[in-house]
Amino acid sequence: MKIWSKKLVSLLDTILPTYDENSEEELKVPCITYRSGSNVPVAEGDDLRYSNGYYRIKLHVKDLGDAEDYLQQIDTLMYMNRFFRESCDEIKIGDVHQFTITYRVMTRERILNYA
């Protein structure tokens, strides 16, 4: 199963500062946080394994007017890297708007069987 976290952070960092959702760092809004969800095999053949990986991306903004542009940039970047949006929700906590977007990526990897 391919782990995307490092690549994901480097991609999202081109839009806004990106933090692990569990980070103890103080967030500098606007920013992005992420969390890896399940990453499980869904099919396996003689020499290939297919997996679905899920990532939760949160966009944190104070100005709602900025959100549309950032969301479009995130969606474009994710789509260009084979991530597909599963859902998007919004909540306001204090003066910060949070958009939570779940993305799915299907990967395949070669299985080396030395029988």
Q: Is residue 51 part of a domain?
A: yes
21-39 residue pLDDT tens: 998 888 999 999 999 887 7
Instruction: Count structural domains, the chain.
Output: 1
For residue 75, the enclosing domain spans 5-110
Q: Is residue 61 part of a domain?
A: yes
72-103 residue pLDDT tens: 999 999 999 989 999 999 999 999 999 999 99
State the pLDDT at residue 1: 45
Mean residue pLDDT of the chain comes to: 87
Alpha carbon distance 106, 108 (integer Å): 7
Q: Is residue 115 part of a domain?
A: no
What totals of helices (H) and strands (E) does the chain contain, helices first?
Answer: 2, 5
> What does each C-alpha distance from 45 to 13, 63, 109 come to in angstroms?
36, 49, 11
Alpha carbon distance 86, 92 (integer Å): 21
3-class secondary-structure state, position 9: helix
Strand-by-strand arrangement of the 83-93 sheet: 18-20, 31-44, 48-61, 96-110, 83-93
The secondary element (H helix, E strand) that includes residue 12 is helix 5-12
Domain CATH for 30: 3.30.2000.10
